[in-house]
Structure 1
Amino acid sequence: MNEFTHIRMIMGFILSLSVAQLLRGVAKLIVHPTRSRPYWVHLMWVVYIFLAIIYFWWWEYRLHELTQWTFLSYVGVIFYIVLYYLLCSLLFPEDLSDYEGFKDYYYARRPWFFSILATTFLMDVVDTMIKGSIYFKNLGPEYPIRIGIHIVLCLLAVKWRNERYHAGLVFVLLGYNISWIARHYFVE
Protein backbone atom coordinates (compact mmCIF):
# COMPACT_ATOMS: atom_id res chain seq x y z
CA MET A 1 0.00 0.00 0.00
CA ASN A 2 1.49 3.34 -0.98
CA GLU A 3 1.21 6.48 1.16
CA PHE A 4 -1.59 8.06 -0.85
CA THR A 5 -3.76 4.94 -0.68
CA HIS A 6 -3.39 4.93 3.09
CA ILE A 7 -4.17 8.65 3.36
CA ARG A 8 -7.09 8.35 0.93
CA MET A 9 -8.64 5.65 3.13
CA ILE A 10 -8.48 7.85 6.24
CA MET A 11 -9.80 10.83 4.27
CA GLY A 12 -12.68 8.69 3.03
CA PHE A 13 -13.61 7.58 6.54
CA ILE A 14 -13.75 11.10 7.93
CA LEU A 15 -15.55 12.54 4.90
CA SER A 16 -18.06 9.67 5.05
CA LEU A 17 -18.79 10.54 8.68
CA SER A 18 -19.27 14.17 7.64
CA VAL A 19 -21.73 13.37 4.87
CA ALA A 20 -23.53 10.90 7.14
CA GLN A 21 -23.94 13.63 9.78
CA LEU A 22 -25.54 15.94 7.21
CA LEU A 23 -27.78 13.24 5.75
CA ARG A 24 -28.86 12.06 9.21
CA GLY A 25 -29.73 15.64 10.17
CA VAL A 26 -31.77 16.25 7.03
CA ALA A 27 -33.51 12.88 7.44
CA LYS A 28 -34.47 13.79 11.03
CA LEU A 29 -36.00 17.04 9.77
CA ILE A 30 -38.03 15.12 7.21
CA VAL A 31 -39.14 12.41 9.62
CA HIS A 32 -39.80 14.69 12.62
CA PRO A 33 -40.40 18.20 11.26
CA THR A 34 -42.14 19.41 14.43
CA ARG A 35 -39.46 18.33 16.93
CA SER A 36 -37.00 21.02 15.91
CA ARG A 37 -38.19 23.93 13.85
CA PRO A 38 -36.11 24.12 10.65
CA TYR A 39 -34.54 27.42 9.64
CA TRP A 40 -34.02 28.12 5.97
CA VAL A 41 -30.66 29.93 6.39
CA HIS A 42 -29.36 26.95 8.37
CA LEU A 43 -30.58 24.60 5.63
CA MET A 44 -28.78 26.68 2.98
CA TRP A 45 -25.55 26.27 4.99
CA VAL A 46 -26.19 22.53 4.96
CA VAL A 47 -26.34 22.68 1.14
CA TYR A 48 -23.20 24.84 1.07
CA ILE A 49 -21.20 22.47 3.30
CA PHE A 50 -22.42 19.42 1.40
CA LEU A 51 -21.21 20.98 -1.86
CA ALA A 52 -17.93 21.97 -0.18
CA ILE A 53 -17.33 18.38 0.94
CA ILE A 54 -18.10 16.99 -2.51
CA TYR A 55 -15.77 19.57 -4.07
CA PHE A 56 -13.10 18.85 -1.45
CA TRP A 57 -13.21 15.15 -2.22
CA TRP A 58 -12.97 15.84 -5.96
CA TRP A 59 -9.92 18.05 -5.89
CA GLU A 60 -8.17 15.99 -3.22
CA TYR A 61 -7.71 13.51 -6.03
CA ARG A 62 -4.82 15.75 -7.05
CA LEU A 63 -2.94 14.50 -4.00
CA HIS A 64 -2.13 11.31 -5.92
CA GLU A 65 0.34 13.43 -7.91
CA LEU A 66 2.36 14.08 -4.76
CA THR A 67 5.57 12.12 -4.92
CA GLN A 68 6.85 12.92 -1.45
CA TRP A 69 4.63 12.81 1.62
CA THR A 70 5.76 14.08 4.99
CA PHE A 71 4.12 13.59 8.33
CA LEU A 72 3.38 17.34 8.37
CA SER A 73 1.56 17.25 5.00
CA TYR A 74 -0.36 14.19 6.20
CA VAL A 75 -1.41 15.94 9.43
CA GLY A 76 -2.38 19.05 7.46
CA VAL A 77 -4.70 17.14 5.15
CA ILE A 78 -6.27 15.18 8.02
CA PHE A 79 -6.76 18.36 10.08
CA TYR A 80 -8.47 19.98 7.09
CA ILE A 81 -10.91 17.06 6.81
CA VAL A 82 -11.60 17.09 10.55
CA LEU A 83 -12.70 20.72 10.21
CA TYR A 84 -15.40 19.62 7.76
CA TYR A 85 -16.59 17.00 10.21
CA LEU A 86 -16.80 19.65 12.95
CA LEU A 87 -18.83 21.91 10.66
CA CYS A 88 -21.26 19.08 9.93
CA SER A 89 -21.56 18.30 13.64
CA LEU A 90 -22.26 21.95 14.37
CA LEU A 91 -24.96 22.03 11.70
CA PHE A 92 -26.72 19.01 13.20
CA PRO A 93 -25.99 18.53 16.90
CA GLU A 94 -27.22 15.48 18.78
CA ASP A 95 -29.56 17.53 20.96
CA LEU A 96 -31.33 20.84 20.45
CA SER A 97 -33.27 20.85 23.73
CA ASP A 98 -31.49 24.01 24.96
CA TYR A 99 -32.72 25.95 21.91
CA GLU A 100 -36.09 26.96 20.49
CA GLY A 101 -35.20 25.50 17.10
CA PHE A 102 -32.55 25.67 14.45
CA LYS A 103 -32.77 29.44 14.09
CA ASP A 104 -31.97 29.99 17.76
CA TYR A 105 -29.26 27.32 17.62
CA TYR A 106 -27.71 28.71 14.42
CA TYR A 107 -27.25 32.22 15.81
CA ALA A 108 -26.04 30.95 19.20
CA ARG A 109 -23.37 28.74 17.58
CA ARG A 110 -22.44 31.03 14.69
CA PRO A 111 -19.10 32.11 16.27
CA TRP A 112 -17.97 28.49 16.33
CA PHE A 113 -19.34 27.67 12.89
CA PHE A 114 -17.85 30.66 11.12
CA SER A 115 -14.53 30.49 12.97
CA ILE A 116 -14.12 26.90 11.84
CA LEU A 117 -15.29 27.77 8.32
CA ALA A 118 -12.70 30.58 8.16
CA THR A 119 -10.07 28.07 9.28
CA THR A 120 -11.04 25.75 6.41
CA PHE A 121 -10.15 28.54 3.99
CA LEU A 122 -6.75 28.93 5.66
CA MET A 123 -6.27 25.17 5.43
CA ASP A 124 -7.24 25.34 1.77
CA VAL A 125 -4.14 27.46 1.19
CA VAL A 126 -1.99 24.93 3.09
CA ASP A 127 -3.52 22.09 1.09
CA THR A 128 -2.96 23.95 -2.18
CA MET A 129 0.68 24.52 -1.28
CA ILE A 130 1.06 20.79 -0.53
CA LYS A 131 -0.03 20.12 -4.11
CA GLY A 132 2.81 22.31 -5.33
CA SER A 133 3.56 25.71 -6.78
CA ILE A 134 2.43 24.74 -10.28
CA TYR A 135 -1.01 23.79 -8.97
CA PHE A 136 -1.15 27.03 -6.97
CA LYS A 137 -0.19 29.12 -10.03
CA ASN A 138 -2.78 27.33 -12.19
CA LEU A 139 -5.54 28.60 -9.88
CA GLY A 140 -4.64 32.13 -10.96
CA PRO A 141 -4.70 35.45 -9.13
CA GLU A 142 -8.37 35.02 -8.24
CA TYR A 143 -7.52 32.24 -5.77
CA PRO A 144 -5.75 34.26 -3.03
CA ILE A 145 -8.30 37.06 -3.38
CA ARG A 146 -11.11 34.51 -3.07
CA ILE A 147 -9.61 33.01 0.07
CA GLY A 148 -9.02 36.42 1.68
CA ILE A 149 -12.56 37.62 0.99
CA HIS A 150 -14.08 34.35 2.26
CA ILE A 151 -12.13 34.64 5.52
CA VAL A 152 -13.17 38.27 6.05
CA LEU A 153 -16.83 37.45 5.34
CA CYS A 154 -16.72 34.57 7.84
CA LEU A 155 -15.14 36.76 10.51
CA LEU A 156 -17.89 39.33 9.97
CA ALA A 157 -20.47 36.54 10.36
CA VAL A 158 -18.88 35.70 13.73
CA LYS A 159 -19.55 39.27 14.89
CA TRP A 160 -22.84 40.08 13.18
CA ARG A 161 -26.10 38.36 14.02
CA ASN A 162 -28.01 40.24 11.30
CA GLU A 163 -30.34 37.79 9.54
CA ARG A 164 -30.09 39.58 6.20
CA TYR A 165 -26.29 39.40 6.31
CA HIS A 166 -26.35 35.66 7.03
CA ALA A 167 -28.95 34.98 4.34
CA GLY A 168 -27.03 37.04 1.80
CA LEU A 169 -23.73 35.47 2.79
CA VAL A 170 -24.86 31.91 2.23
CA PHE A 171 -26.32 32.76 -1.18
CA VAL A 172 -23.23 34.71 -2.24
CA LEU A 173 -20.79 31.99 -1.12
CA LEU A 174 -22.91 29.18 -2.55
CA GLY A 175 -23.29 30.96 -5.89
CA TYR A 176 -19.62 31.87 -6.03
CA ASN A 177 -18.51 28.33 -5.21
CA ILE A 178 -20.77 26.89 -7.90
CA SER A 179 -19.25 29.40 -10.33
CA TRP A 180 -15.69 28.54 -9.19
CA ILE A 181 -16.29 24.81 -9.62
CA ALA A 182 -17.91 25.29 -13.03
CA ARG A 183 -15.10 27.52 -14.28
CA HIS A 184 -12.28 25.28 -13.04
CA TYR A 185 -13.62 21.76 -13.43
CA PHE A 186 -16.31 21.75 -16.13
CA VAL A 187 -13.97 22.96 -18.84
CA GLU A 188 -11.80 20.63 -20.88
Structure 2
Amino acid sequence: MDPDVSAELFPHVRIVMGTVIGLAITRLLMTIAGIIQHPHRGKVSALHMLWIGSLLLELVLFWWWEFALHRMQIWNFGIVLFILTYAITLFLIAALLSPDSVSEYKGYEDFFLKRRHWFFGLLGATFVLDTIDTLIKGQAHWSRFDWSYFGQVPVGLALCIFAWRHADRRLHLGIVAVHITYQLFLIFRFFTTIS
Protein backbone atom coordinates (compact mmCIF):
# COMPACT_ATOMS: atom_id res chain seq x y z
CA MET A 1 0.00 0.00 0.00
CA ASP A 2 1.18 3.51 -0.84
CA PRO A 3 2.60 5.17 2.35
CA ASP A 4 0.42 8.25 1.74
CA VAL A 5 -2.72 6.11 1.53
CA SER A 6 -1.64 4.19 4.64
CA ALA A 7 -1.21 7.44 6.57
CA GLU A 8 -4.70 8.54 5.49
CA LEU A 9 -6.31 5.21 6.40
CA PHE A 10 -5.42 5.28 10.11
CA PRO A 11 -7.70 8.23 11.00
CA HIS A 12 -10.63 6.47 9.30
CA VAL A 13 -10.00 3.24 11.20
CA ARG A 14 -9.62 5.22 14.43
CA ILE A 15 -12.96 7.00 13.86
CA VAL A 16 -14.89 3.75 13.38
CA MET A 17 -13.07 2.06 16.27
CA GLY A 18 -13.62 5.14 18.44
CA THR A 19 -17.33 5.09 17.62
CA VAL A 20 -17.68 1.49 18.82
CA ILE A 21 -15.65 2.22 21.97
CA GLY A 22 -17.66 5.41 22.52
CA LEU A 23 -20.91 3.44 22.33
CA ALA A 24 -19.57 0.98 24.91
CA ILE A 25 -18.56 3.81 27.26
CA THR A 26 -21.95 5.47 26.73
CA ARG A 27 -23.76 2.25 27.54
CA LEU A 28 -21.84 1.83 30.81
CA LEU A 29 -22.31 5.47 31.79
CA MET A 30 -26.05 5.25 31.05
CA THR A 31 -26.25 2.24 33.38
CA ILE A 32 -24.49 4.19 36.13
CA ALA A 33 -26.78 7.16 35.51
CA GLY A 34 -29.82 4.85 35.62
CA ILE A 35 -28.70 3.43 38.95
CA ILE A 36 -28.25 6.96 40.33
CA GLN A 37 -31.64 8.07 38.99
CA HIS A 38 -33.56 4.95 40.03
CA PRO A 39 -31.58 3.24 42.82
CA HIS A 40 -34.43 0.86 43.68
CA ARG A 41 -35.16 -0.33 40.13
CA GLY A 42 -32.49 -3.02 40.41
CA LYS A 43 -30.49 -4.10 43.43
CA VAL A 44 -27.06 -2.45 43.15
CA SER A 45 -24.03 -4.70 43.54
CA ALA A 46 -20.42 -3.94 44.43
CA LEU A 47 -19.33 -6.80 42.15
CA HIS A 48 -21.24 -5.37 39.20
CA MET A 49 -20.03 -1.81 39.85
CA LEU A 50 -16.40 -2.95 40.13
CA TRP A 51 -16.65 -4.70 36.75
CA ILE A 52 -18.20 -1.57 35.25
CA GLY A 53 -15.29 0.47 36.61
CA SER A 54 -12.77 -2.07 35.34
CA LEU A 55 -14.33 -2.14 31.88
CA LEU A 56 -14.47 1.65 31.67
CA LEU A 57 -10.75 1.65 32.41
CA GLU A 58 -10.21 -1.11 29.83
CA LEU A 59 -12.06 0.86 27.15
CA VAL A 60 -9.95 3.97 27.77
CA LEU A 61 -6.79 1.83 27.75
CA PHE A 62 -7.83 0.23 24.45
CA TRP A 63 -8.41 3.63 22.88
CA TRP A 64 -5.04 4.82 24.23
CA TRP A 65 -2.92 1.87 23.15
CA GLU A 66 -4.49 1.68 19.68
CA PHE A 67 -2.80 5.00 18.92
CA ALA A 68 0.35 2.91 18.30
CA LEU A 69 -1.32 1.87 15.02
CA HIS A 70 -0.43 5.29 13.55
CA ARG A 71 3.07 3.92 12.79
CA MET A 72 1.80 1.04 10.69
CA GLN A 73 3.02 1.22 7.12
CA ILE A 74 0.99 -1.63 5.69
CA TRP A 75 -2.76 -1.92 6.12
CA ASN A 76 -5.15 -4.50 4.74
CA PHE A 77 -8.78 -5.40 5.22
CA GLY A 78 -7.88 -8.24 7.60
CA ILE A 79 -6.13 -5.86 10.01
CA VAL A 80 -9.02 -3.39 9.90
CA LEU A 81 -11.51 -6.21 10.48
CA PHE A 82 -9.42 -7.48 13.39
CA ILE A 83 -9.27 -4.06 15.08
CA LEU A 84 -13.03 -3.65 14.72
CA THR A 85 -13.65 -7.19 16.01
CA TYR A 86 -11.59 -6.39 19.11
CA ALA A 87 -13.59 -3.17 19.67
CA ILE A 88 -16.89 -5.00 19.12
CA THR A 89 -15.86 -7.65 21.66
CA LEU A 90 -15.31 -4.90 24.23
CA PHE A 91 -18.70 -3.39 23.33
CA LEU A 92 -20.41 -6.75 23.88
CA ILE A 93 -18.80 -7.03 27.33
CA ALA A 94 -20.14 -3.54 28.10
CA ALA A 95 -23.59 -4.61 26.92
CA LEU A 96 -23.49 -7.59 29.30
CA LEU A 97 -22.76 -5.20 32.18
CA SER A 98 -25.52 -2.84 31.03
CA PRO A 99 -28.70 -4.88 30.68
CA ASP A 100 -31.82 -3.14 29.42
CA SER A 101 -33.68 -4.53 32.40
CA VAL A 102 -32.93 -6.67 35.45
CA SER A 103 -36.60 -7.10 36.41
CA GLU A 104 -36.40 -10.87 35.81
CA TYR A 105 -33.47 -11.14 38.23
CA LYS A 106 -32.76 -10.36 41.88
CA GLY A 107 -30.61 -7.43 40.79
CA TYR A 108 -27.48 -6.61 38.83
CA GLU A 109 -25.31 -9.17 40.61
CA ASP A 110 -27.78 -11.99 39.96
CA PHE A 111 -27.90 -10.95 36.29
CA PHE A 112 -24.09 -10.83 36.11
CA LEU A 113 -23.60 -14.23 37.74
CA LYS A 114 -26.22 -15.85 35.51
CA ARG A 115 -24.61 -14.33 32.40
CA ARG A 116 -21.05 -14.96 33.56
CA HIS A 117 -20.41 -17.58 30.85
CA TRP A 118 -20.85 -14.99 28.12
CA PHE A 119 -19.00 -12.32 30.09
CA PHE A 120 -15.93 -14.42 30.88
CA GLY A 121 -15.94 -16.04 27.45
CA LEU A 122 -15.69 -12.60 25.85
CA LEU A 123 -13.24 -11.32 28.47
CA GLY A 124 -11.03 -14.38 27.88
CA ALA A 125 -11.12 -13.64 24.14
CA THR A 126 -9.74 -10.15 24.81
CA PHE A 127 -6.55 -11.62 26.27
CA VAL A 128 -5.93 -13.49 23.02
CA LEU A 129 -6.98 -10.50 20.90
CA ASP A 130 -4.60 -8.26 22.84
CA THR A 131 -1.65 -10.54 22.04
CA ILE A 132 -2.53 -10.52 18.32
CA ASP A 133 -2.97 -6.74 18.47
CA THR A 134 0.51 -6.37 19.98
CA LEU A 135 1.96 -8.55 17.19
CA ILE A 136 0.24 -6.48 14.49
CA LYS A 137 1.91 -3.32 15.78
CA GLY A 138 5.33 -4.75 14.97
CA GLN A 139 8.55 -5.89 16.59
CA ALA A 140 9.44 -2.50 18.08
CA HIS A 141 6.11 -2.38 19.91
CA TRP A 142 6.31 -6.06 20.94
CA SER A 143 9.81 -5.66 22.38
CA ARG A 144 8.62 -2.94 24.81
CA PHE A 145 6.98 -5.61 26.96
CA ASP A 146 8.26 -8.37 29.22
CA TRP A 147 6.86 -11.37 31.08
CA SER A 148 4.72 -9.12 33.31
CA TYR A 149 2.72 -8.09 30.26
CA PHE A 150 2.59 -11.39 28.39
CA GLY A 151 1.84 -13.35 31.57
CA GLN A 152 -1.64 -11.85 31.51
CA VAL A 153 -2.73 -14.26 28.79
CA PRO A 154 -2.34 -17.59 30.65
CA VAL A 155 -3.27 -16.08 34.03
CA GLY A 156 -6.22 -14.15 32.59
CA LEU A 157 -7.51 -17.17 30.70
CA ALA A 158 -7.19 -19.38 33.79
CA LEU A 159 -9.12 -16.85 35.90
CA CYS A 160 -11.81 -16.55 33.21
CA ILE A 161 -12.23 -20.34 33.09
CA PHE A 162 -12.39 -20.50 36.88
CA ALA A 163 -14.96 -17.68 37.02
CA TRP A 164 -16.94 -19.33 34.21
CA ARG A 165 -17.26 -22.51 36.26
CA HIS A 166 -18.02 -21.02 39.70
CA ALA A 167 -20.68 -18.55 40.81
CA ASP A 168 -19.20 -17.83 44.25
CA ARG A 169 -19.49 -14.09 44.96
CA ARG A 170 -16.25 -13.90 46.97
CA LEU A 171 -14.34 -15.59 44.17
CA HIS A 172 -15.72 -13.09 41.67
CA LEU A 173 -14.89 -10.14 43.92
CA GLY A 174 -11.33 -11.47 44.17
CA ILE A 175 -11.05 -11.83 40.39
CA VAL A 176 -12.28 -8.30 39.67
CA ALA A 177 -9.88 -6.96 42.34
CA VAL A 178 -6.98 -8.79 40.64
CA HIS A 179 -8.09 -7.47 37.24
CA ILE A 180 -8.26 -3.84 38.41
CA THR A 181 -4.91 -4.14 40.22
CA TYR A 182 -3.30 -5.56 37.09
CA GLN A 183 -4.82 -2.80 34.93
CA LEU A 184 -3.32 -0.16 37.24
CA PHE A 185 0.03 -1.96 37.14
CA LEU A 186 -0.03 -1.94 33.32
CA ILE A 187 -0.87 1.75 33.22
CA PHE A 188 2.03 2.75 35.46
CA ARG A 189 4.46 0.25 33.95
CA PHE A 190 3.78 0.53 30.21
CA PHE A 191 1.05 2.96 29.23
CA THR A 192 1.75 6.34 30.85
CA THR A 193 3.28 7.58 27.57
CA ILE A 194 2.94 6.60 23.94
CA SER A 195 6.12 5.61 22.19
| In structure 1, C-alpha distance between the alignment counterparts of 2:192 and 2:79, rounded to whole Å | 28
Deviations 1:16-58, CA, capped at 9 Å, x for gaps? 1000000000000000000101111010000000000011111
Shift of 1:187: 6.8
Q: How does 1:58-73 map to 2 (within 5 A)?
A: 58-73=64-79
Deviations 1:54-102, CA, capped at 9 Å, x for gaps? 1111110000010111111111100000011001100011121211111
| In structure 2, C-alpha distance between the alignment counterparts of 1:186 and 1:105, rounded to whole Å | 35
SS in 1 for 2:75: coil
The correspondence for 1:122, drawn from 125, 128, 134, is 128
1:132 corresponding residue in structure 2 = 138
2:33 corresponding residue in structure 1 = 27
CA RMSD of aligned residues (A): 1.3
Letter in 2 for 1:49: L
SS in 1 for 2:42: coil
2:119 corresponding residue in structure 1 = 113
User: Aligned pairs, how many?
Assistant: 188
| In structure 1, C-alpha distance between the alignment counterparts of 2:192 and 2:63, rounded to whole Å | 16
- Normalising by the residue count of structure 2, what TM-score does the alignment of the two structures yield? 0.93
* Alignment CA distance shift 1:34-1:159 (3 Å): same
Shift of 1:144: 2.0
Structure 2 portions without partners, runs of 5+: none
Q: How does 1:76-155 map to 2 (within 5 A)?
A: 76-155=82-161
Letter in 2 for 1:144: F
Q: Equivalent pairs: percent with the same residue?
A: 32
Q: How does 1:48-59 map to 2 (within 5 A)?
A: 48-59=54-65
Contact 2:65 2:191 in 1 (8 A): no
The correspondence for 1:180, drawn from 178, 186, 189, is 186
| In structure 2, C-alpha distance between the alignment counterparts of 1:15 and 1:48, rounded to whole Å | 14
Shift of 1:142: 2.2
* Alignment CA distance shift 1:97-1:171 (3 Å): same
Shift of 1:186: 3.1
1:74 aligns with 2:84: no
